[in-house]
Amino acid sequence: MDSKSISRRQFLRLGALSAAGAALAACAPQVITERETVEVPVEVTREVEVPSEPQVTTIVEQAEPITLRIEARLGDQGDHFNKYAHLYNEEHHPNVFVKTELFSDADYYQKLDTMLAGGTIGDAFWIWLGNGFDQYAATGIYAALDDIVASKDYDLNQFYPESIEALRYEGNLYALPYLLNIGSGSDIYYNKTMFDEAGVEYPALDWTWDEMIETAKVFSKPDEGIFGLVTSNYYGGSPPAAARAYGGDLLSADGTKTNIDAPGTVEGMRVFSDLFHVHGVTPTTAELAGSEYQMFAAGKLAMFQSGFWGKVVDDYVAPDSWGVVGTPLGPAGRGLVMFVDNVGVTAASKYPAETFEYLTYVCGYEAGMELWRDYRSVPGCRPDIWESEEALADPHFKVNTEMLQAEGMPPRLPCPANFREKEYWQVVNEGLEPIWTGERTFDEVMPDVVQAGQETLDRPSLLT
């Protein structure tokens, strides 16, 4: 560690001494013979040496500034982390400095695992619940936050309580909630222009899967490349929404069984599969003509299913030409899923308290509101955001708040009991993919998905 010396110099006070000295003689005219000598005072200046006080140099040891490394993704998230890093650095300069290390979405998890394996991980990192959090908590990657929370008297009640419980493992808290997503298939965005031209009423919040399918049929003309609905095709989007809406799920609550062949899951997944293979209202991968936003703008798509971020459709069409409604109701409800993006302090961090303080910046009220308002992303995981006047004044945000209030906080995706979370969901995703590529129906892929999924769940725990 380098040390810095700070010298305090005391200045000498120099004074001048005055004295009377030297005599002048003056001569009178020679009128008389008498002479008189007169002493005249004369001012003289002499340089004298005055003893000085000794100089004292005080050396103060100052610690080297702390650098905190935060791992996150490039793009809006990285911009958001950078903004609050700049704010934090301004307030803590020169003692603490936050440095963000940002990676592309495609490379993020690979980079994260590489750093974890190599012992080069930073002080904190972002992740979303359902993609490794439980494994990291169980294997000691995170530092427990409870003592820091207590020492700082930090109020966890500002977050949804379900999110805090989801970020605990064996009673210990390992991360703070960064944002709340109630499903990557939570919203249905509809094309007002197409609805108006067809004379179709806009969907209501209490509509059902059957009503959505019938509405999609009105618009679908596959031969002309026009479709009624594009779904969110991956394990966090439309499949769990369909399965849960009919009383099932893609994994048992205890994480030991695939549950893909359970009655409710089978019924919901058949409804989802029929969108492609029976009704022809949803394009297969090969039938997609660009992104859902491009098809929407071109008048080739009446509706698409997405998460909170679907509002970026604003970049493609006029703001008043689209509307949003919640994903439809099934016999068992709406099929929402709680995803909590979170930020945790690593066990490797030498500065957990300072790192935690930075995380409170990005998890605060204004930061969480900005995610939605300025970055058009999913908002923070706080009731004071979701129920704020600003949120309820926005039709898009209001729909999501109303779903959450009516349904209550939905359960998260279960975690495999053996902690092979990433492996299991990858197997499920790859197994279901032939449904949306148009190659096979759900009934055709189900046996293979069940077998591959169960084999993954039966493998040894990552903790052994």
pLDDT in tens, 357-389: 999 999 999 999 999 999 988 999 999 999 999
Alpha-carbon gap, residue 249 to 257, rounded angstroms = 10
**CATH number of the domain that 326 lies in?**
3.40.190.10
Residues 343 and 330 in one domain: no
In a domain, 462, yes or no: no
Q: Which tokens sit at 260?
A: 């893909």
Distance CA 437, CA 375 (A): 32
CA distance 313 to 395: 15
Domain that holds residue 71: 66-182+338-407
193 and 291 share a domain? Answer: yes
Same-domain status, 199 and 173: no
pLDDT tens-digit series, residues 32-79: 333 343 344 444 445 545 455 555 544 445 568 899 999 999 999 999
* Residue 156, CA distances (Å) to 125, 165, 167, 412 in order: 19, 11, 12, 19
With respect to residue 368, please indicate whether it lies within any of the assigned structural domains.
yes
395 by Cβ neighbours in 10 Å (0-12 / 13-18 / 19+) ranks as exposed
In a domain, 22, yes or no: no
Number of domains in the chain: 2
pLDDT per residue rounded down to tens, the chain (464 residues): 443 333 333 333 323 323 333 333 333 333 333 334 334 444 444 554 545 555 554 444 556 889 999 999 999 999 999 999 999 999 998 999 999 999 999 999 999 999 999 999 999 999 999 888 999 999 999 999 999 999 999 999 999 999 999 999 999 999 999 999 999 999 999 999 999 999 999 999 999 999 999 999 999 999 999 999 999 998 889 999 999 999 999 999 999 999 999 999 999 999 999 999 999 999 999 999 999 999 999 999 999 999 999 999 999 999 999 999 999 999 999 999 999 999 999 999 999 999 999 999 999 999 999 999 999 889 999 999 999 999 999 999 999 999 999 999 999 999 999 999 999 999 999 999 999 999 999 999 999 999 999 999 999 999 98
Residue 25 lies in a domain: no
pTM for this prediction:
0.84
